[in-house]
A and B are shown apart, each in its own frame.
Chain A
Amino acid sequence: MKKRSMRLFALLLAAMMTCTACQAPAADTTTAAPGNQETKAPATETTGAAEATEPAPSWTNDDDAEITIMMVQSAVPGADDLVIAELEKRTGTKINMISVAGADYAVKLSSMIGAGNIPDIFEVRDLSDAQKYIDAGILANVEDLLTEVAPNVMEETKDVLYEIPVNDGGVYMVPVMSRSYAMNLNVRTDWLENLGMKMPTNLDEYKEMLRAFTEDDPDKNGEDDTYGLEFILDHVGQYAWVSVFGAYGIPAGKNGSAVTIELEDGTISTWVKHPRFIEAMTYIRSIVDAGYCEPDFVSVPAATSYEALWTGVAGVMEFQCVGPTNNWYPGRYTEDPLPTFDFPIIEGPYGDSGVAAKYVDYSNGFVFSSTCKNLEGAARIANYCMSQEGSELMTYGIEGVMWQWVDEANGKMEYLGEYTDSAVHRAAGGYCHRRLFVPSFHAELRTLNAQTQAGVQEAYDNAIEWAYIPYVSEVYTENGADMDQAIDEMMAELFTTTGDLQEVYDRWIEEWETLGGTEWEAELTEMWKEMNK
């Protein structure tokens, strides 16, 4: 009995080993060779009989195949997505759109690619990822395809397409052409009027305004229920305090590595190493310590933070003005009469002002999978979305059904019927896919109200230039998460410590340098020199 069981077990083991042995070489032959940057997707054979007749296109064009698109969504549509259905109709394609929230995008994309389930068109938000995909042979070189099928894409991107480092030797990535909005200081002008104050122009006046908004009952309701500035700790550098940093000549960014500056000795480093950083922090702390801003800025949830502006608790918020004076207006506000805003530029002690410049982001774009069975259809989608009509469809939905022009020349439109309800509009796909192959002068920009358009332009015009390096940093790829975390924790301590700011700063910067900051600086400095040769 025991002997027979052993025999059976041995037989089973042998069978498994045989299977494994047979499988191994097969796996080797199916894998793309690393470093191969050639596009190898053509599904249409160009050999044999085809050579004798007219040449087949060098890209796939199976119109029956579904094109899977994965991107960060501005909003999540419902099951009945009219916009995608219309896009299918206008481009003659079948589309499967995967909606992913920004915070989950990297994780979801990594998982899908890791599982070999590669979307046909997907958004890349990091050049090192794009390079990795090219090296692994999973991206298609679409240079010839776009030239022939997508003239809008080639025209729209002509100034930047070949500046993108991963497009060296072909076109693998189409950049997101719309610059993100620069930040504005949104100040309630009705409160200023109530207090008989003028719009601040420098840091002293700004602080005095925040004090008055906190202590002098700016809404004149007889209660001590307001304060000056609304912000949360997680938004420092990204939105919050950017105008104050700008007044000290510092272009602030989302985290330590988002914005890089050239120091006096020519070293490229993080914006927090600007020589006036501590001076700016000292000013900021004077406002925080005086209580002229959100008192629970460390722990308040982000949604609650926005509510402070919408409900008339706070009078100032740093955010792209597209929110406070356009997209949130008037629906989000609860006061009657509605609040009014303007966007001052604050000048610092050395005559500086503005916020970090916004450049076309070379690290953010759309790529095409080399396994796509209908690359031609994918290019048609790109081409259509980069047209004016396409941008209108992807932003507002179907014209005549979901919205219509009131004064097209002046960019005035209105929603129709049930689509005046933004929830219904988004459920039908409106606004959700607006970033898909978005052109530089996109529909949203054209239809902002006059004050918001002026605010957007004002922020762009008062930009502080910084050292934008679009290349992939190996040091950052290896240690970036730890380095950024160190800067985030430094910010938290600088905003909450009762001790010496300089001591806290020096300690964390030393930590950051140990975590890879010094190597990163050396690497970026070399890249910068190379770029400016």
Chain B
Amino acid sequence: MAKVWKYLRRHWMLYAMLIPGLAYIIIFKYIPMYGLSIAFKDYEGIGDIANAQWVGWENFTKLFSKAAFIRSFKNTVIISFAKILFGFPAPIILALFIDSLRKKGLKKLVQTSVILPNFISWVVIYGLMYAILGPSSGVISEILTFFGFEGKIPDLLSSKEYFREVIVGSYIWKSAGIGTIVYLAALTGIDPQLYEAAAIDGAGPWRKTWHISLAGLRTTIIVMLIFRVGEMMHAGFDHIYAISNNAVISVADIIDTYIYRVGLEQGNFSLATAAGFIQSIIGLVMVLITNYVAKKVDPDSGIM
């Protein structure tokens, strides 16, 4: 113990810097966890949670008996999986592309251009999507009409068949750019001599990308994947809420939008917390599984 105190005294400034971060996590992440007990209580949003009546698993039973929740659960899994499958590699590919640019000015221009969409709200993006994809007056429709097309193009924004593709496509367009920052930072950490040595050995751009760039990014990719999988049950409330409508809601309604409708608009806090609790538990399990698999594949990777 004396050794520990001595060590702490010697490095007290470093540990002092930890305090704000720790305080933030404790106050805003751990203490609110007490609110999870609402999922097991009959709480109406008024008064002390401690005084609400315990109801055991009743809220969970009720939740799984609702067809709308089951539908939102399925949609969440499908949309999240599609976002990971198609959206996760996008920033990696984009980062490799940006890194391969040799002209500094062009590199900066591309980097800034791809990051910008992240700062536009989904409401505005929906306006842009309608301006482009709108079947009667959208840009695509106008161009086709200009070239003599007389039919009506399909309304992607109101079509159940295509709406999930619209969700994934717009997600990639908005978020791929900002996602490149971490990978570009990791790429700058790769020793340039490795590329030079590979070039001397006759490696072309593809081989250099595969054996040096991607190999150098491996740990970062795994950590980012674990984080992304952890958020799998959160398929993007603001995204779906802003761009969906009643014609496509059956393929777009996710747990977050369901919670908003039933929990906050209807004031059923216990049911909403139960749904959120399920999301978190599944997220935690997914993180543990991904971390386990990552450790098996590469013992140096993973987050714990």
Which A positions have Cβ atoms within 8 angstroms of B?
Answer: 1, 4-5, 24, 27-28, 30-32, 106-107, 110, 113-114, 129, 132-133, 136, 138, 233-234, 295-296, 298-301, 304, 477-478, 480-482, 485, 488-489, 491-493, 495-496, 515
Also in contact, A489 and B267, with CB within 8 A (given A31-B48, A296-B135, A299-B155)? no
Interface size of B as a range: 35 or more
| Chain A residues with CB under 8 A of B269 | 110, 114
Query: In the complex, A515 Cα to B65 Cα: how many Å?
Result: 11
| Chain A residues with CB under 8 A of B262 | 481-482
B192 within 8 A of A: no
Query: In the complex, A325 Cα to B54 Cα: how many Å?
Result: 56
Pick the contact of B266 from A32, A300, A480, A492 — CB < 8 Å? Answer: A480
| Complex contact A298–B1 (CB within 8 A) | no
| Complex contact A296–B134 (CB within 8 A) | yes
Give how many A-B residue pairs fall within 8 Å (CB-CB).
Answer: 99
Also in contact, A295 and B246, with CB within 8 A (given A32-B47, A300-B130)? no
B293 within 8 A of A: no
| Complex contact B246–A1 (CB within 8 A) | no
Query: In the complex, A480 Cα to B268 Cα: how many Å?
Result: 11
Q: What are the 3 tightest A-B residue pairs by CB atom distance, in nearest-first order? A: A298-B158, A299-B157, A492-B246
Query: In the complex, A489 Cα to B246 Cα: how many Å?
Result: 5
| Complex contact B51–A496 (CB within 8 A) | no
| Complex contact B246–A107 (CB within 8 A) | no
| Chain B residues with CB under 8 A of A300 | 130, 134
Query: In the complex, A477 Cα to B267 Cα: how many Å?
Result: 9
B155, closest chain A residue (CB): A299
A484, closest chain B residue (CB): B261
- The 30 sampled A-B contact pairs (Cβ below 8 Å) are A30-B48, A31-B48, A106-B267, A107-B265, A110-B264, A114-B269, A132-B267, A133-B46, A136-B44, A136-B46, A234-B245, A295-B135, A296-B130, A296-B135, A296-B155, A298-B157, A299-B135, A299-B157, A304-B130, A477-B266, A478-B268, A480-B266, A481-B262, A482-B262, A488-B246, A489-B246, A489-B249, A492-B247, A495-B247, A515-B67
Pick the contact of A298 from B51, B137, B245 — CB < 8 Å? Answer: B245
User: Assuming A31-B48, A296-B155, A481-B262, what are 6 further A-B pairs, CB within 8 angstroms?
Assistant: A27-B51, A107-B260, A138-B46, A233-B245, A301-B130, A515-B67
| Complex contact B136–A492 (CB within 8 A) | no
B126 within 8 A of A: yes
Query: In the complex, A234 Cα to B244 Cα: how many Å?
Result: 11
B169 within 8 A of A: no
Pick the contact of B1 from A1, A30, A129, A488 — CB < 8 Å? Answer: A1
A110 to chain B, nearest CB (A): 5
Q: Could you mark each residue 105-135 of chain B with 1 if its beta carbon is under 8 Å from any beta carbon of chain A, else 0?
A: 0000000000000000000001100100011
Which B positions have Cβ atoms within 8 angstroms of A?
Answer: 1, 44-48, 50-51, 66-68, 126-127, 130, 134-137, 155, 157-158, 245-247, 249-250, 260-262, 264-269
| Chain B residues with CB under 8 A of A481 | 261-262, 265-266, 268
Where chain A touches its partner, the secondary structure class is: helix
Also in contact, A298 and B267, with CB within 8 A (given A27-B50, A482-B262)? no
| Complex contact A31–B135 (CB within 8 A) | no
| Chain A residues with CB under 8 A of B47 | 31-32, 136
| Chain B residues with CB under 8 A of A28 | 51
Query: In the complex, A491 Cα to B267 Cα: how many Å?
Result: 25
B5 to chain A, nearest CB (A): 11
Identify which of B45, B50, B262 gathers the most chain A CB atoms within 10 Å of its CB.
Answer: B45
| Chain B residues with CB under 8 A of A4 | 1
| Complex contact A492–B135 (CB within 8 A) | no
A303, closest chain B residue (CB): B127
| Complex contact B45–A233 (CB within 8 A) | no
| Chain A residues with CB under 8 A of B137 | 296
Identify which of A107, A233, A492 gathers the most chain B CB atoms within 10 Å of its CB.
Answer: A492
| Complex contact A31–B51 (CB within 8 A) | yes
B141 to chain A, nearest CB (A): 10
| Chain B residues with CB under 8 A of A482 | 66, 68, 262
| Chain A residues with CB under 8 A of B67 | 515
| Chain B residues with CB under 8 A of A27 | 48, 50-51
| Chain B residues with CB under 8 A of A489 | 246, 249-250
| Complex contact A110–B267 (CB within 8 A) | yes
B261, closest chain A residue (CB): A481
Pick the contact of B130 from A138, A299, A478 — CB < 8 Å? Answer: A299
B254 to chain A, nearest CB (A): 14
Query: In the complex, A515 Cα to B51 Cα: how many Å?
Result: 31
B260, closest chain A residue (CB): A107
Query: In the complex, A24 Cα to B50 Cα: how many Å?
Result: 9
Also in contact, A296 and B136, with CB within 8 A (given A31-B51, A129-B267)? yes
| Chain B residues with CB under 8 A of A485 | 68, 249, 261
Query: In the complex, A299 Cα to B269 Cα: how many Å?
Result: 31
Query: In the complex, A4 Cα to B264 Cα: how many Å?
Result: 49
Query: In the complex, A138 Cα to B47 Cα: how many Å?
Result: 9
Identify which of A31, A234, A300, A488 gathers the most chain B CB atoms within 10 Å of its CB.
Answer: A300
| Complex contact A299–B246 (CB within 8 A) | no
Query: In the complex, A496 Cα to B249 Cα: how many Å?
Result: 14
Identify which of A296, A299, A477, A495 gathers the most chain B CB atoms within 10 Å of its CB.
Answer: A299
B38 to chain A, nearest CB (A): 10
Query: In the complex, A491 Cα to B135 Cα: how many Å?
Result: 21
Query: In the complex, A461 Cα to B252 Cα: how many Å?
Result: 42
B27 to chain A, nearest CB (A): 15
| Complex contact A496–B158 (CB within 8 A) | yes
| Chain A residues with CB under 8 A of B48 | 27, 30-31
Query: In the complex, A477 Cα to B268 Cα: how many Å?
Result: 9
Pick the contact of A106 from B50, B66, B250, B264 — CB < 8 Å? Answer: B264
| Chain B residues with CB under 8 A of A132 | 44-46, 267
| Complex contact A114–B247 (CB within 8 A) | no
Query: In the complex, A482 Cα to B72 Cα: how many Å?
Result: 12
| Chain B residues with CB under 8 A of A107 | 260, 264-265
| Complex contact B247–A298 (CB within 8 A) | yes
Query: In the complex, A473 Cα to B76 Cα: how many Å?
Result: 31
| Complex contact B158–A299 (CB within 8 A) | yes
